[in-house]
Amino acid sequence: MQHEFACKHQWLLKASFALCLLCIVSVLALSSGSRHDYDDIIESGVLKIVTRNSPTTYYQDKDQISGFEYELASMFADFLGVKLDVTVADNLDDLIAEVETGNVAFAAAGLTVTPERAERVLFSSSYLNVTQKLVYRISQKRPKDLSALINKTMVVTAHSSHAQYLHDLQQNTMPELTWIEREDAEVSELVQMVENGEIDFTIVDSNEFEALAGFYPNVAGALDLGDAQELAWAFSQYTDNSLVNKSREFFQLIRETGLLSQLEERYYGHLRQIDNVGTLTFLAQADKRLHKYQELFEQEAITNDVDWRLLAAIGYQESHWKELARSRTGVRGLMMLTRTTAKEMGVKNRLNAEQSIKGGSAYFAKLKRRFKNIAEPDRTWIALAAYNVGYGHVKDAQLLTKEHGGNPDRWMDIKESLPLLTQKKFYKKTKHGYARGYEPVEYVQNIRRFYDLLVWREQPDPTYTVVDANDESFFTADSGYRNIPPLVVTH
Ligand code: GLU
């Protein structure tokens, strides 16, 4: 009897404790959350949001902040006439918690609207529809249905809609299904693991897949999992709805004016392929287009004390020597300058070839000066990587190289560290965060190849044949050619 009473008593105690806790949390949330109502934001002049550091949300690109979510939130801040203040959460659960506790006005992080999340936060209207894609390595058999997932290694991000999908699947139809959830990884790393053959499958949203696929040629989407889903911003439930109502107005406006489709097109409209144009194409283009710009490259080479063929090789890698080139992230012109770089180098019109070559060459020379303690040729390759991915990220990669026992002044070592900047466990500790670290490696390799080809092209009486890289005789000293490996990059 006494025991029963004690149990009941304990139960009562526990219940009242839980109730108190709930009250405290609600009051806290209510009091801090109210700071993010529309009037408070206008009064403070600051819109505070939380996001994730990933290629589809928010990241440092060359010398500017990029990301679909970041740009969308910036547009909203402009619409409200206030400043945007961005914080980054480590994982999806922390992100939702930031919203719940009222630390931020909302989360803009490529969040899928799920019934489970809708119990914790208030979603805005949706701005993008996505499907979940099962990603596999193309050298493996293409999975045709869900049974292919059994007894395979599948990894997804922890607390994601993808993990939720698998939980539901396991509970409802496939109790034997297993998978791993990673707290410390984001989708690009998981896609990389599939590419490398470390795991069999991962799941990513279709927009993420579009942004990533160009960088991982050995993976493809096998199946769409489940129905289409909506991405939306997540607001706290403890607000007066004034801000979420404003966001509805904003989404309606950007839909009607076409601004939203423009943003989608820029980020997800086309797969971005790494430029891997072959030797013959390069030489054909050199014959056709280079003469138009050669003098400009030569002039700038003298001004900046750089080999003109290197500048020309940058120009080709950047734009294929097209002065009107544009990319989806807003870089423009023959040397593909960002707006910030153009301003810094005094370029008024980025689409003017002369200005672009002048600005680009001077910018490259400036980057080289910033690495003045490094011996050639590494200094050139490292400055080139900075031209592509931004000085800050290269500095981060140098620090990582040092930490891993490599030589931070050697391109061969930095080249191993740069791709680590796509992995959360590494970029988390860096100053500039996530970077598409594979890109500068590919970029430098291409430029070196183009440079070698231009040097080769100037040899007396060159023969424009495709070289069989396995043909040793081609590289012997008495063949009359420099030791140029046109088809294979050996560095
Ligand atoms: N849309 C996914 C979600 O809301 C993103 C997950 C991820 O990229 O890891 O969970």
DSSP character for 115? H
Summarised one tens digit per residue, pLDDT across range 38-88 is: 999 999 999 999 999 887 899 876 667 888 999 999 999 999 999 999 999
Contact 153, 143 (CB under 8 A): no
Q: What is the mean pLDDT of residues 385-412?
A: 95
Q: Which residue shows structure tokens 């003017």?
A: 352
Q: Where are the alpha helices (DSSP H) in 240-377?
A: 242-256, 259-268, 279-285, 291-304, 308-319, 339-344, 353-370
Percent of the chain exceeding pLDDT 90 equals 63
Q: What is the pLDDT of residue 59?
A: 84
Take residue 143 and report the two structure tokens written for it: 């999975």
The catalytic site residues sit at 318
Q: What is the mean pLDDT of residues 404-428?
A: 92
Instruction: Tell me the CA–centroid distance for residue 121 and ligand 1, in Å.
Output: 16
List the chain domain ranges. Answer: 278-457
Mutate to test the pocket of ligand 1, among 205, 210, 212, 230 (most ligand atoms within 8 A of CB): 205
Between CA 404 and CA 421 the distance in angstroms is: 14
Does any ligand 1 atom lie closer than 6 A to the CB of residue 453? no
Contact 67, 59 (CB under 8 A): yes
Summarised one tens digit per residue, pLDDT across range 146-197 is: 999 999 999 999 999 999 999 999 999 999 999 999 998 888 899 989 989 9
Contact 50, 424 (CB under 8 A): no
Does any ligand 1 atom lie closer than 6 A to the CB of residue 207? no
Locate the ligand 1 atom nearest the alpha carbon of residue 92 and give its number.
Answer: 10
Strand partners, 84: 47
Confidence of residue 283 (pLDDT cuts 50, 70, 90): confident
Between CA 261 and CA 473 the distance in angstroms is: 55
Summarised one tens digit per residue, pLDDT across range 466-480 is: 333 333 333 332 322
Q: What is the mean pLDDT of residues 211-235?
A: 87
- Topology of domain 278-457 in CATH is Lysozyme (1.10.530)
Instruction: Tell me the CA–centroid distance for residue 51 and ligand 1, in Å.
Output: 11
Does any ligand 1 atom lie closer than 6 A to the CB of residue 157? yes
E strand map for 206-265: 219-235
Summarised one tens digit per residue, pLDDT across range 293-347 is: 999 999 999 999 999 999 999 999 999 999 999 886 778 999 999 999 999 999 9
